[in-house]
Chain A
Amino acid sequence: KQEVTQIPAALSVPEGENLVLNCSFTDSAIYNLQWFRQDPGKGLTSLLLIQSSQREQTSGRLNASLDKSSGRSTLYIAASQPGDSATYLCAVRRSTGFQKLVFGTGTRLLVSP
């Protein structure tokens, strides 16, 4: 059974810092991995999707990497801003059968001015 863990569970940083969020998964047979952002009480916004054959994806100040063999992904946020404050979730899809999203436990990020 795929298990997805995110560390740290919560993170508080001052504005302007570069930061890294971690995601680990137990079964490396994944189809792809997706990073989402969720504001309190709101829906999920897709940030980046990395296919299993890719090593990284970039969008603006965000960079996500994937090391499938070690079961790890990182989300790098450059020059953090208060508007980045949210919960960040990673989710993996397995490579066989129905490709259900298995979500991680999330990292709550607070960026203070």
Chain B
Amino acid sequence: DTEVTQTPKHLVMGMTNKKSLKCEQHMGHRAMYWYKQKAKKPPELMFVYSYEKLSINESVPSRFSPECPNSSLLNLHLHALQPEDSALYLCASSQGLAGDTQYFGPGTRLTVL
């Protein structure tokens, strides 16, 4: 099973709302990633978790808060977002950090009103 799942598929939220994006993989991968992708642009790395610990934060604003409750799950908590945060949010996982193939989920399309 080389599948990464993400929920929800679509999310519309106001600037004062709090919501969460979820990502799950059952491949035994120990590295998980959040990417943000704006329309017609390549994905941009946001966070990297390795062995359930935050390894990389690419200077992401604090209104985005990642969480890795266990080795299979990755959450992205959203609070006080801005309309420019509207994008496709992609989760990925890999066996480790050492150049392994990353497997991507289908993404969550987020719209901030």
Interface residues of A (CB under 8 A from B): 31-32, 34, 36, 41-46, 49, 51, 89, 91, 93, 98-101, 103-106
Contact = CB atoms under 8 A, between A and B. Distances in A.
A27 to B, nearest CB: 15
Contacts of A42: 106-107
Contacts of B66: none
Given A43-B104, A103-B43, A32 B88 contact: no
B101 A100 contact: no
B99 interface: yes
Contacts of A43: 4, 6, 90, 104-107
Contacts of B109: 41
Q: Give chain A's interface secondary structure class.
A: strand
Given A41-B107, A44-B90, A105 B42 contact: yes
Contact of A45 (B42, B43, B99, B104): B104
A31 B45 CA distance: 18
A1 to B, nearest CB: 14
Interface of B: 4, 6, 40, 42-43, 45, 48, 55-56, 88, 90, 92, 97-99, 101-107, 109
Contact of B101 (A34, A98, A104): A34
Contacts of B40: 106
A103 B45 CA distance: 10
Contact of A99 (B6, B90, B99, B104): B99
A83 B4 CA distance: 22
A89 B102 CA distance: 13
Contacts of A93: 99
Contacts of B6: 43
A19 to B, nearest CB: 21
A61 to B, nearest CB: 20
Nearest to A49: B101
B106 A98 contact: no
Interface centre among B43, B88, B90, B109 (most CB of A within 10 A): B43
19 contacts: A31-B99, A34-B101, A42-B107, A43-B6, A43-B90, A43-B104, A43-B107, A44-B90, A44-B104, A45-B104, A46-B102, A46-B104, A51-B99, A99-B97, A99-B99, A103-B42, A103-B43, A104-B42, A106-B42
